[in-house]
Structure 1
Amino acid sequence: MTKKAFVTGGTGFIGANLIHLLVQQGYTVKALVRPSSPLNNLRDLDIEIVKGDLKKPNLWQHMVGCQVLFHVAAHYSLWQADCNALYCNNVLGTQNVLAAARQAGIDRTVYTSSVAAIGVKEGGIADETYQSPLDKLVGHYKKSKYLAEQVAIEAAKRNQDVVIVNPSSPIGPFDIKPTPTGDIILRFLRRQMPFYLNTGLNFVDVRDVAWGHLLALEKGKTGDRYILGNQNLTLKEILDKLSEITGIPAPQKTVPAWLPLSVAWIDENLLAPLGKAPSVPLDGVRMAQQTMYYDPSKAVRELGLPQTPIETALKDAVDWFKKNFELRDINE
């Protein structure tokens, strides 16, 4: 019998790739989307759209008839002024979605957390057993994702079948917003990166992340979390790979951390209250001062998480951005 999946956050980067995969794998899909969200990523897909947000009253009624839930939606912002929206959507929204799933009789839920909820292991590589204390997590986004993950863990303890996945920094097509990782690629393509910060991240093909959700549904242990990642690379290594793919020269000079920190502090604390839109988030700069490396071997071993080469993900991301964004500075 064809399974019916309810998906939140389906218009976003991970959600869109997941819905495309679910449709390819024969699932019937029902997607919750905000009325203001563009549907470009879901164009031409035979799915059912439900308009609303994570706090939609009687959300459970829309889930009736679905066997599985993928709760992918989250509010992402590094601006300190957005802290209330982060906790409201990510924490309270997750509470409402999981309560609706219980009421609707959903058999199994995959909750999309983030490595942001795990935190950073100073001088090392974090796995699922590591957890930064809440007060050590940089910024309200990370704190809200940690608290939302605790909601999912508590639901599992109350015998709700919930599996948790923690994507790292995905790369690939459908990065419509774009995400911070996509923004790096986009600014590189537009030749807007004369300098770089000495930082590092774990990168993964977004289509592997989509598969990780489906594999977690099939093989994941209730209440467990799985890091959906691949390769730990410095920002300089990513920029060099982008240079090899595009022929655009990679920046060769670093920028001292105090400079973007100063700009961000002025932006958020002095100019934003006067009505100027800030350009550099302070929490984003503070995060970039940490090397955010993770170990995905548990998901590879227990779920069979694919490990597509990062070069493939970067090339496909570049191709997608060229087709979907204005890139006047590229020499074709």
Structure 2
Amino acid sequence: MKCAFVTGATGLLGNNTVHALVRRNIKVKALVRSIDKARKQFADMPVEYIQGDLQEVEKFSTELHGCDALLHTAAYFRDSYKGGKHWAALYNTNVVATEQLLAAAYAAGIRKAVHVSSIAVLQGAQGQLIDESMSRPEQGADDYYRSKILSEQVVQQFLQRHPDMTITMVLPGWMFGPGDIGPTSSGQFLLDFVQRKLPGVLPGTFSVVDARDVAEHLLAALERGRSGERYLAAGVHMDMGSIFQVLARVSGVAAPQRQVPLAILRMIAALYEVQHRLTGKPVLISSSTIKLMAGERERTHFSHEKSARELGCQFRPVEQTLADTLDWYRANDYLASAGHPVPAID
């Protein structure tokens, strides 16, 4: 592979994927919405910026020519949990644009691609070890989960029409990592922890993964993955209390101890939703987020047997991930500018 096209290149996963490609001396065409943000993200790295929007694939489709592979990391996600209805944006970006992007890539001569899916497309019982075969039904899924289910269907339908195309799917968990310029929800969570804005221990479980490890999964899937197959890159099952303990060790900030009941969270979310309807401001925590947290609790145990066997992928310790992420925020003045510098940890 000499040249790769990366969507969502300034995002947490996208930028770490770009870094992984550049380390391998692979030319990168990076689809970005903001050139200024891309320059801030990549500085003097040898990356070609392609300014464009996924909902307007036809405007950048010619830039796919000359590329050997497509890594589709972009998705609409965060705003869908900030109050209000977002189905049109979710469907147009995660489903329609994926279909159009694959068609444009194929027309440009690309025959290898990786589609970034999500653990959202899988479902198991509480405490069950979940693998790639355990698909979540579309019925009953929230809007974001449903959009990711439909985007995978688009991939499979495309493969049926184009059997000479190789497309693999990688399913990340809750990603943390350096370069989270946004910040994403995970990055904001770390900043809120350090600034002591979190009220207590939330009653949820999560699968925590380093975005750098997910990026390595993408490249391994591109090289060794089987077409049409899913590969989990979900990371480590943890409850919020365990995440707080690790964060306390790497940041030097004491973790909250108070348990926050779901009933209280539902009341807080309901108040935020009312405020959103009156002011239009995004909510800090939405009813859909609380519903998701309750429904997915103890359903975040994922098996990486297939990924390890077929891709040879591994995960670094969560403590290293969180420490490196906080170091990146410290180095880029996110913490000092907020008035809460984090002490360096030896």
Q: Taking structure 1 as the reference length, what is the TM-score of the superposition?
A: 0.94
In structure 2, do the counterparts of structure 1 residues 123 and 94 end up closer, same or farther at CA, with 3 Å as the change threshold? Answer: same
Between the aligned partners of 2:257 and 2:34, the Cα distance in structure 1 is 43
Between the aligned partners of 2:20 and 2:135, the Cα distance in structure 1 is 31
CA contact (8 A) 1:189 1:327 kept: no
Question: Residue 179 of structure 1: CA displacement?
Answer: 2.1
SS for the counterpart of 1:69 is strand
Between the aligned partners of 1:198 and 1:125, the Cα distance in structure 2 is 20
The answer to whether residue 235 in structure 2 is matched with residue 230 in structure 1 is: yes
In structure 2, do the counterparts of structure 1 residues 198 and 37 end up closer, same or farther at CA, with 3 Å as the change threshold? Answer: farther
SS for the counterpart of 2:232 is strand
Q: Which amino acid aligns with 2:306?
A: K
Correspondence 1:251-262 to 2 at 5 A? 251-262=256-267
Correspondence 1:39-188 to 2 at 5 A? 39=38, 40-54=40-54, 55-57=56-58, 59-76=60-77, 77=79, 78-79=81-82, 80-119=84-123, 121-137=125-141, 139-158=142-161, 159=163, 160-188=165-193
Q: Which amino acid aligns with 1:5?
A: A
Between the aligned partners of 2:132 and 2:36, the Cα distance in structure 1 is 32
In the TM superposition, what whole-angstrom CA distance separates every residue of 1:39-92 from its partner, at most 9, and x where no partner exists?
222222111111111123154311111111001111113134222211111111
CA contact (8 A) 1:201 1:233 kept: yes
Q: Which moved more, 1:89-98 or 1:152-161?
A: 152-161
In structure 2, do the counterparts of structure 1 residues 282 and 315 end up closer, same or farther at CA, with 3 Å as the change threshold? Answer: same
Between the aligned partners of 1:83 and 1:246, the Cα distance in structure 2 is 38
Identity of aligned residues (%): 33
Question: Residue 156 of structure 1: CA displacement?
Answer: 2.0
Unaligned runs of 5+ in 1: none
In structure 2, do the counterparts of structure 1 residues 184 and 110 end up closer, same or farther at CA, with 3 Å as the change threshold? Answer: same
In the TM superposition, what whole-angstrom CA distance separates every residue of 1:12-64 from its partner, at most 9, and x where no partner exists?
00000000110010101111111477222222211111111112315431111
Question: Residue 271 of structure 1: CA displacement?
Answer: 2.3
In structure 2, do the counterparts of structure 1 residues 45 and 144 end up closer, same or farther at CA, with 3 Å as the change threshold? Answer: same
Structure 1 stretches of 4+ with a deviation exceeding 3 A read 119-123
Question: Residue 8 of structure 1: CA displacement?
Answer: 0.5
Between the aligned partners of 1:201 and 1:118, the Cα distance in structure 2 is 14
Between the aligned partners of 1:143 and 1:37, the Cα distance in structure 2 is 33
Q: Taking structure 2 as the reference length, what is the TM-score of the superposition?
A: 0.90
Q: Which residue of 1 aligns with 2:22?
A: 23
Unaligned runs of 5+ in 2: none
Q: Which residue of 2 aligns with 1:300?
A: 308
CA contact (8 A) 1:121 1:130 kept: no
The answer to whether residue 264 in structure 2 is matched with residue 263 in structure 1 is: no
SS for the counterpart of 1:125 is coil
Between the aligned partners of 1:296 and 1:328, the Cα distance in structure 2 is 40
Q: Which moved more, 1:198-207 or 1:284-293?
A: 284-293
Q: Which amino acid aligns with 1:188?
A: F
Q: Which amino acid aligns with 1:100?
A: A
In the TM superposition, what whole-angstrom CA distance separates every residue of 1:126-170 from its partner, at most 9, and x where no partner exists?
210111211232x21111111111111222222131111111112
